[in-house]
Amino acid sequence: MSDQQGFTVWFTGLSGSGKSTIAEMLYHEFQARGLKTEILDGDVVRTNLSKGLGFSKEDRDTNIMRIGFVANLLTRNGVATICCPISPYKETRDANRALIGNFVEVYVHATLEELSENRDPKGLYKKAIAGEIKGFTGVDDPYEAPENPELVVDTMTESPEESLQNVLRALVKLGYLDSDEVMVQGDRMHSGLTDLRVADTGHVVKED
């Protein structure tokens, strides 16, 4: 679609809140609509675009601005761009909003208690709370929740499918999509662009 309007959907939230899960589902919805689309996932970008950066505030900001730089290039070339880094600092998110323009901020909400008790398969939150890991976002490093995002999805009360539906509705309301119909049902092939686990069949592994 040569006349496709580019835009960026920027998912932000704590580690484990569900950003990559919803982003992956949205990617397939965009594909089903014939849109050019790309995902910039936090962990994948760190491996390929921001290798060597640490987790100081300066390095975190640099990483997020690099993601924003690429997202801006994609957006202005008509790509439906999906970003899902933690992006803990409001100032850098706002800087990317100003840079990109067509920017839809989606706050993926889950509390620290929920994540540490029920979504901590590697035990990282528990180690951070115990002081064994330093500089962990949401524990001893700040996470600044968006004050006026275009959308909040609460993954403690919504299923991934419900969160996806809410994102599609928001994009229709904002004029980026014509329909909020969910077009892809069932298991989805892994995009290869997020850090979600992939099954031997090539599908995204559904987490319990």
Positions annotated as catalytic residues are 87
Query: Dihedral angle at the C-alpha atoms of 154, 203, 206, 40, nearest 10 degrees?
Result: -30
DSSP 186: S
Residues 6+ apart with CB under 8 A from 196: 20, 21, 24, 190, 204, 205
Residues 6+ apart with CB under 8 A from 144: 88, 89, 90
Token pair, residue 161, equals: 């499918």
Contact 33, 125 (CB under 8 A): no
